[in-house]
Structure 1
Amino acid sequence: MLRRNFLNITCTITGGALMVPEFLWAFGTQNKIRFEEESLIFIQLNGGNDGLNTYIPFNDPLYQYNRPSICISKDDVIGANKNMAFHPSLKNFFDIQQDGNLSIIQNVGYSNPTRSHFKSQEIWQTAVNSNMGLNNGWLGRYLDAEFRDHNPIAGINISRVDHPVFKSEFSNSASVQNPKFYKKDEMIIDKVKLSSNPQLDFVRKIATATVESSKAIQKAISNSKEEIIYPKTNFASKLSWIARLIKGNLNSKIYYTSLGGFDTHKNQLNEHSKKLTILNDGVYSFYKDLKEAKLLQNVTIVIFSEFGRRVKDNGNGTDHGKAAPMFIIGGNNNGSIIGNNPDLANLDDGDLKYNIDFRSVYATLLRQKLHFNPRKIGIKLPVIEGIF
C-alpha cells in the first residue's frame, strides 16, 4: 500500500509527527481517561459572527443609529436583561440562561487584530500573537502535554477537514466525518508488513492506531442511543454524534466542530437569522440530551467566532470587525454575564474594542475544567473569575 493512498483515507489520525517511526506504537498502554472527568466541546462559527446582532445592546440609541438597515427591533429581542438581549432566533439560548447554565463573556478579542478570516482563525486556533508565525494548535499542545504515550481519541474533530487547533508533535486526535462510518478493515494491517523501510512501518502503525480508534468509537456508539430527536441539519447531526460518543463513554477530552455561513456582507437579516436558528436548535437539542443523561455538569460547551462585525452596517449587511461575545454552556458555569456591555461610543476604527483576551478564556478552561497549567503550553494570561 502506498503511503499517500493510506493518508487519503477520509477518516484520518491528526498530528504532525510524520517523521517519527514509533508513532502510536504504544497505543495499548495509552493514558486512560476516567469517565467522571470533564470534557470540552468547541463550536466554531466560521465567517465572523455578528456579535452585536447575536447578543444585542437593544436599548443603546447608537445601536439603531449605526445599523438603520439591520438592527433588531426592541419588540423582537428575547430575554432583555441589563439592556442586553438575544436575537429572536436564539430563544432557547435564553431558556438555557434561565436554567442558570449559560454564561456570556462580552467583548472578547485580542490585540492588534486582523480582519482576515484565515489569519484570525489561525490566531484563535494557535493562541499565539498576530505577529508570530505558525505554531502547533493550542489544543494539540495541550494533548501532547497530557498524553505523552499517545491517545489518538483524546481529541475528536467532527468535520470534513482537520482543524489546525489539533496540530501537534504527536497524534492525540482523530478527524471523523461521520462516526457511524469510521471503520477500517483490519486486513489493512496485514497488507503493510514490518520492514526496513521506516515509511512502511509508519503506515503500518498509523493503520494499527486507526483500527484501534475505530473500535473505540464504534463501541461508544453501540453503548449509546439517540434519546433526543435532533433537527435535520448537518450541524445538529454532528452534535448528535458527539452526544452519542460522550454517552457511550468514549472518554475523549476535547470535541471540536463548526458551523459556517456567518460572513454576512449582504442580506444579513435573513441569512443571519437562518444561521442562528440552526445554531439555536442544534445546541438546544444537544443541551437537553446531555442534561437528561445527567452529563451536563461534566461537559462544557464553548461557542466562538474568529471576529465580530463592524458596528456600522454597509446598507445590507456588515463587514469584518473585531471583538464579539463568547458563550459558555454547561460545566457547572455560574450563569454569569462577564464584562461590560459593548461601548458603541468608544470604538477602535469603527469596531468594538476588546476588553477580554480570548486566551484568558482558554486559560480558565484549562485550569478550572481540565486542571491543567496553561503556562505549560505558552498561555500566560490570567484566568477569568466568575465563569465557574
Structure 2
Amino acid sequence: MCDTNHSQNIKSKKDGSCNTEDHKKWNRRSFLQAMGLVGGGSMMLANTPLSVSRPSPLSLALSEVENDNILVIVRLQGGNDGFNTIIPVYDYDTYANARPLIKIPPSEFITLNEDFAMPKPMNKLERVWGDGQMKVVHGVGYDDSSLSHFRGSDIYANTNLVEDDRTGFMGRYFNEIYPDFFFNPPASPPSIQIGSIGNLIFRGPQNDFSFAVSSPQRLTQIIENETFYNLNGLANCTYDDKVRFLREATNTTFNYAEVISAAFERSSEYTGGTYLDDSLGRQFRIISRLIRGGLGTKVYLVTLGGFDTHNNQIQRHQTLLNSFSEGLSTFYDDLTAAGWDDKVLTMTTSEFGRRFKENGSLGTDHGTAAPTMFFGSPLNGNGFVGEHPDMSSLTRGGNVIETTDFRQVYATVMKEWLCIDEGTVGKVLLEGSPLESLDLGFNCSGTSSSGLPTDGESLTHIPTYSDNQTFITIISPQTTHIDVELFNAVGQKVATLSNDMLMERAELIINVKEAANTKLSTGPYIYRIKTNSGNFSKSIIIS
C-alpha cells in the first residue's frame, strides 16, 4: 500500500487510527495500478473482457443528446495498409510497380466502381456496399504525420498536433461543458471500450476516470449478490482517503456492471447468422446484444489488432480484413433483424497508414494517410468522399500526402451524427474556426442540438494558478446570490468557498485553499457555482 521511503509513517490500523500526515502526495492512478487495477473499468461478459468508463465528460454529454444515435468506432490497431484495403484501380500500374510482390491482382478484386476495389477476403462487405451502407473517405491524415504507434494513436485521440496532450478530444469537450460527472453519474455507461483499454479519446484534462478490476470473477459475484464495498468508518486521513477513493470508484463500476448485465440478458443471441468465434466477432456480438437490450450507451470502441504488417503482409493482412468483413457484416445483419440498423453508425480508425512502396520483407513500413471507412444505413448510399492521394507525388520518406484532415472526419461525426453544435466542436478539436462537414449522407438538420448546459453569457468563471495557489475569478452580468462549493474526485463535497451576494459586474476572486477553511490534498477537484440563473462547474487542480 505504500512506497519504501514512507512506509514508516503509516500507523497501525488495529486501533482504528491513522497518520494524517502520511503520504501527503499520492498519485491515484499509481495507487490503482498497485492494487491490481488499470485503466478501463472491466468485467467479463460472454467470455470477453469489457471495459466500462466511469462517467466521463464524454459519457455524460452523449447521454444527454436528444436522439438515439449510436457510434461504433472500430480501431484497426497497428496501422492499417489502406492501399491493399481500398485498391486504386484507376492507376493500377503505379500501384503495382510500387508493390510488385504484395499487390492485389485483378483476379482478387471485388469491384466497388471503375476506380476502386476491395480484396476478396472482404467479400462479406460486397453486399454491404451494394445495399448502400458503406462509404470511404480518402486520404485521411495530418501534416508531418508521426510514424510512431504511441504518438500516432495519441494524436488521433487528442487531435493535438503540437504538444503531447494527455487528454482526448471528446473527454476534453465534455469536461468543459459538463464537468460535474463525478457526483452526477448517468443511469447507464454512455461509453464502453471492448478489447482494449486506456485510449485517450475518453480522458478528461485531469484524470482518467476509468479502471479495470483485476478479478472479473469477483465482479460477477458482486453483481449476483448485489453487494458493495462499505464506505462507513473511514477516517479523515490519506490512507483512508485512498481506500475511500478505491471503494467509491469500484462501487461505481459494480453499478454499471449490473446495468450492463441486465441489458445483455434482456436480449437474445442472434439466430439469423453466426459471428466468427474470434476477437472482433465476440466484440461485435456483445455490443449488438447491449444495443438491442436497450442499454443506452452512445459510443462503443472495439479493437482489432495486428495491422503492423512489416513482413509477410499478404496472408496476415488478408486474414485481418476477413475478420473485419465477417464481423461487420454479421453485426449489421443482426441490427437490421432487430430494427436497430438506422441508429448505428460505424467508422474505422487507425494510428496511421502504411508506406506506399513495399519493403524488403514482403511487407510495408509505417506510413501516413489511409482511408476511413463508414458503415450503416444512415449513410443513405455508397460512395467515396474526398480525393485519393497522388501516388506519383511522394514525400522524401516515400509516403503519400494526406488529402483529408482527420479532424474534419471527427467534426462531421460530432456535428452531423452526435448533433453537437459547431462552435463547441471547433473548440474541442483545437481549431480556431469551424471545420467544414464532409458529405457522408446524414445530418442533424431539423434535429435539436445536444441541449447540454453551457455557461453562455450569464456568468464568467475562470480558474487561474499562481505561487502554488489556485484562484477562481467570477464575474456576473447581473446582481445575484452566489454559492460556490468544492468537490473532490469521487464527488464528495469538501468545502463551501463562497455564499454571498455578487453585485452586477463585480469581480469575485476566491483563493481556494484559504476559502476552503480545511486541509486540501493535492490533486483534482471540481467547483460548482450555484446562482439565480443556473449552475456552472469546472475542474481545477490543487497543488
Q: TM-score band, normalised by the shorter chain?
A: 0.7 to 0.9
Q: Is it true that 1:221 corresponds to 2:264 in the alignment? A: yes
Pair 1:74–1:304, CA change in 2 (3 A): same
How far does residue 190 in structure 1 lie from its aligned partner after superposition?
A: 2.4
Rate the CA distance shift 1:194–1:251 in 2: closer, same or farther, 3 A. Answer: farther
Whether the 8 Å contact between 2:263 and 2:293 is mirrored in structure 1 is yes
1:330 maps to what in 2?
A: 376
Counterpart of 1:37 (choices 68, 72, 76) is 68
User: 1:242, 1:74 → 2: CA distance?
Assistant: 36
Q: Is residue 37–residue 214 contact of structure 2 (8 Å, CA) maintained in 1? A: no
SS at match of 1:303: strand
Higher mean displacement: 378-387 or 338-347: 378-387
Q: 2:236 aligns with which of 187, 193, 196?
A: 196
Aligned to 2:336: 291
Pair 1:271 & 2:271 matched? no
Aligned positions, number: 375
* Runs of at least 5 residues in structure 1 that lack an aligned partner in the other structure: 15-22
Residue in 2 that maps onto 1:46? 77
Give CA-to-partner distance per residue, 1:64-93, whole Å, 9 cap, x none. 111111111112110241311111111122
CA deviation string 1:80-126 (max 9, x = no partner) = 41311111111122221111111100000011111111111110011
TM (norm. structure 1) is 0.87
Equivalent of residue 82 in structure 1, options 89, 114, 118: 114
Q: How does 1:295-334 map to 2 (within 5 A)?
A: 295-315=340-360, 316-330=362-376, 332-334=378-380
For residues 153-198 of structure 1, give each alpha carbon's deviation from its aligned partner in whole angstroms, at most 9, with x where no partner exists. Answer: 1110112432222222477767699999963624441276543243
Distance 1:30 1:109 in 2: 27
**Following superposition of structure 1 onto structure 2, how do residues 85-164 of structure 1 map, counting pairs within 5 Å?**
85-129=117-161, 131-144=162-175, 145=177, 148-149=180-181, 150-151=185-186, 153-164=189-200
User: Looking at both structures, which has the greater relative contact order when contacts are Cα pairs under 8 Å and sequence separation is at least 6?
Assistant: 1
Match of 1:8 in 2: 36
Does the 8 Å CA contact 1:159/1:177 hold for their aligned counterparts? Answer: no
Alignment CA distance shift 1:368-1:160 (3 Å): closer
Q: 318-327 vs 75-84, which deviates more?
A: 75-84
- 1:183 and 2:183 are equivalent in the alignment: no
Measured after TM superposition, the shift of residue 330 of structure 1 is 1.4
Q: Structure 1 123/12 Cα, relative in aligned 2: closer, same or farther at 3 Å?
A: closer
Task: Write the distance in 2 (CA, Å) between the matches of 1:324 and 1:233.
Answer: 25
Q: AA paired with 1:245?
A: L
SS in 1 for 2:285: helix
Aligned-partner Cα distance in 2 for 1:122–1:46: 12
- Report the Cα offset of residue 39 of structure 1: 1.4
C-alpha contact (below 8 Å) 1:104/1:327 kept by paired residues: yes
Q: Which has the larger radius of gyration?
A: 2
Residues 1:379 and 1:5: Cα distance change in structure 2 (over 3 Å): closer
- 166-175 vs 135-144, which moves further: 166-175
Matched with 2:426 is 375
- What SS is found at the alignment partner of 2:254? helix
In structure 2, the CA distance between the partners of 1:142 and 1:331, relative to structure 1 (3 Å rule), is farther
Specify the SS of the correspondent of 1:183: helix
1:13, CA displacement in angstroms?
3.5
Q: How far apart, CA to CA, are the structure 2 residues paired with 1:4 and 1:80?
A: 49
Q: Provide the C-alpha distance between the structure 1 equivalents of 2:215 and 2:266, rounded to a whole number of angstroms.
A: 17
Contact 1:154 1:173 in 2 (8 A): no
In the aligned structure 2, how far is the partner of 1:30 from the partner of 1:319? 39
Q: CA RMSD in A?
A: 3.0
1:262 CA drift (Å): 0.8
Which whole-Å CA distance do the structure 1 matches of 2:379 and 2:294 have between them?
A: 22
User: Which segment drifts farther, 324-333 or 177-186?
Assistant: 177-186
2: distance between equivalents of 1:11 and 1:133? Answer: 19
- Match of 1:234, as an amino acid? S
Unaligned runs of 5+ in 2: 3-30, 43-53, 443-543
User: Structure 1 residues 377, 148: closer, same or farther in 2, change over 3 A?
Assistant: farther
Question: Mean alpha-carbon deviation: is it higher for 157-166 or for 29-38?
Answer: 29-38
User: Cα 1:264–1:207, aligned 2, differ >3 Å: closer, same or farther?
Assistant: closer
Displacement of 1:343: 1.8
Identity %, equivalent residues: 29
Residue 139 of structure 1 aligns to a residue in which SS?
helix
Q: Secondary structure at the match of 2:123?
A: helix
1:7 offset after TM fit, Å?
Answer: 5.1
The whole-number CA distance in structure 2 between the counterparts of 1:179 and 1:100 is: 40
Q: Which has the higher strand share?
A: 2
Q: Deviations along 1:116-151, whole A, 9 cap, x unmatched?
A: 11111110011111x312231123224434574334
User: Structure 1: how far apart are the matches of 2:203 and 2:65?
Assistant: 24
SS of aligned partner of 2:220: coil
